Structure 1
Amino acid sequence: MKMSKVGNQTNSQDPQAVNSRVFVGNLNTFQCSKTDVERMFQRYGRLAGISMHKGYAFVQFTNPFDARSACLGEDGRTVLSQILGKCNKIFSF
């Protein structure tokens, strides 16, 4: 599978973007790279951005349906001997 060039912008406050964003918690970021996260989530749809932080990441999809599918598919998955604790879609209120 060819890896695309995914940016790191995941902080847009646009309602469409907010509803297309996934929070990935309990992520072993010492061993898991941005490329690894891209490989995990690209199966759910087009990725607009990934931002990595210590112990968690945000994954920005281009539409909310793909973000929801990713949450349902990845929540509780074991990655590098750690269970993804919270893989949640970010909701705007």
Structure 2
Amino acid sequence: MSRVYIGRLSYRAREKDVEKFFKGYGKILEVDLKNGYGFVEFDDPRDADDAVYDLNGKDLCGERVIVEHTKGPRRDGSYGGGRSKYTMQWCF
């Protein structure tokens, strides 16, 4: 498993927008959205590598996002939560 950080995330971005943005890069285990940033956890680290390489600097919901590997372990053990009421340019 490998987690990817998404920075400069639009407040309009919803979980389904992020899932579609990363679609085609492999099996996603979790999308965890916070205020202005989030995390995507991939089943295979190679898929995370491809997503970071291809998607860093791309437009998601009208914002040029930062996509990079997380720098450390998870801070909590929760799976779930996140925002659910926001929309976009790469928002679906």
TM exceeding 0.5 = yes
Q: What is the CA deviation profile of residues 43-66 of structure 1, one whole-angstrom value per residue up to 9, with x for unaligned ones? A: 100000010000011000001000
| CA–CA separation in structure 2 for the residues paired with 1:35 and 1:81 | 15
| CA–CA separation in structure 2 for the residues paired with 1:37 and 1:80 | 9
RMSD value over aligned CA atoms? 1.5
**Ranges in structure 2 where 5+ consecutive residues have no aligned partner:** 74-92
* Counterpart position of 1:69: 50
Aligned-pair CA distance for 1:42? 2.1
**Ranges in structure 1 where 5+ consecutive residues have no aligned partner:** 1-16
- 1:1-93 map, 5 Å: 17=1, 20-28=2-10, 30-84=11-65, 86-91=66-71
* Counterpart position of 1:14: none
The 3 A distance-change label for structure 1 pair 64 and 91 is farther
* Counterpart position of 1:10: none
Q: What is the CA deviation profile of residues 23-80 of structure 1, one whole-angstrom value per residue up to 9, with x for unaligned ones? A: 000000x211000100111210000001000001100000100000000111000122
Residue 22 of structure 1 aligns with an amino acid whose one-letter code is V
Identical counterparts, % of pairs: 29
TM, length-normalised to structure 2: 0.73
